[in-house]
Amino acid sequence: MTIVVTGSSGLLGSALVRALRADGDQVLRLVRREPAGPDEAFWDPARGVLDPAVLEGVDAVVHLAGAGIGDRRWTESYKRELVDSRVNSTRTLAEALAALAGKPRVLLSGSAVGFYGDTGDRSVDESSPSGAGFLAGLVREWEAAAAPAEEAGIRVVRLRTGIVLSGRGGALAKVLPIFKLGAGAVLGSGKQYVSWISLPDWVAAIRFLLNNQEMSAMSGPVNVTAPEPVTNAEYTRAIGKALHRPTMPIATPAFALRLALGEFATEGVLAGQRVLPRRLLDAGHRFAHPALEDALAAVL
């Protein structure tokens, strides 16, 4: 297959590109700089610039571009960037795909479990409604921006991804130095749920959605998370155990997190989602690392 990937320089995109090429697929990377070779093409999603001609004849598209949720403090300007980087890029891509004479058979478009808001200890799956808050609203806009591709007859799958575990990047890698010092601690009450997936399992799920013939009719939201979400307290203990380091006996209080992280603390750290990958499981997908301890052993 010929597969277009956006966000290919990030943690998820770079791992996916390596796996697709190892499978023998041809990958075309959309980049926001001067292309460095025939496997790259220029686009400027902020200005809505993408020549549909570069997409002619491709079989599938995986769209992963967007500013990092936890990369900076949530000022009003950065919140706007979080929304615009996702909505504008998705709309630009979807409109270019809709204009093609020979359309790809599928668009896998990035999304997030933030769609569900704070679920407390209630389990949710793809049939559950959206929650409240900034992140839930962002995801609703993000998913809606793919509508032009859907209306043009392209099968669109919205990848509601949880925290992807890797020792080389993402949320886990950011806290590893703290845990290695023995200073890892439960955040807030520790009761908030973490919906996670190992990086190898995330890549495997995307390949499953691209290649499995049974997926030909699947569209709409797909939760890309492991089947066993855990609480923050369990997550903290598991990281310490994987690193053979103690964790702090007292939790980091919520007020301190809010003081340090602002609004992101409330929605991105102290809130949680207990998300189940119902559609992947029902389709017969098998996870290599369904349990957190196995996943941490694999990625660390």
The pLDDT of residue 212 is: 66
Q: What is the DSSP letter of 113?
A: G
Residue 139: partners with Cβ closer than 8 Å, 6 or more residues away? 111, 112, 114, 115, 130, 160
Position 230 pLDDT exceeds 90: yes
CA distance 94 to 104: 11
Q: What is the DSSP letter of 20?
A: H
Query: What pTM, to 2 d.p., does this model score?
Result: 0.96
Structure tokens at 93: 């891509």
Give the mean model confidence (pLDDT) for residues 283-299: 96
The pLDDT of residue 74 is: 94
How many other C-beta atoms lie within 10 A of the C-beta of residue 126?
19
Q: What is the DSSP letter of 265?
A: I
CA distance 219 to 177: 39
Position 205 pLDDT exceeds 70: yes
CA distance 108 to 156: 6
Nearest in space to 108 (alpha carbons), one of 55, 63, 166, 49: 63
CA distance 151 to 153: 5
The pLDDT of residue 206 is: 97
CA distance 178 to 247: 10
Residue labelled with tokens 């049974």: 214
The phi and psi torsions of 220 (rounded to 5 degrees) equal 85, -160
Is there a contact between 112 and 97 (Cβ–Cβ < 8 Å)? no
The pLDDT of residue 169 is: 93
Q: Give residue-wise pLDDT tens across range 73-113.
A: 999 999 999 999 999 999 999 999 999 999 999 999 999 99
Position 289 pLDDT exceeds 90: yes
Q: For every residue of 123-190, which 3-state class applies, written as one string?
A: EECCCCCCCCCHHHHHHHHHHHCCHHHHHCCCEEEEEEECEEECCCCHHHHHHHHHHHCCCCCCECCC
If one looks up domain 2-299 in CATH, what number appears? 3.40.50.720
How many other C-beta atoms lie within 10 A of the C-beta of residue 62?
26
CA distance 26 to 17: 9
- Residue 116 class from Cβ within 10 Å (0-12 exposed, 13-18 middle, 19+ buried)? buried
The phi and psi torsions of 14 (rounded to 5 degrees) equal -65, -40
Give the mean model confidence (pLDDT) for residues 193-202: 98
Position 214 pLDDT exceeds 80: no
Q: Give residue-wise pLDDT tens across range 237-270.
A: 999 999 999 999 999 999 999 999 999 999 999 9
Instruction: Measure CA 59 to chain center.
Output: 22
CA distance 188 to 254: 5
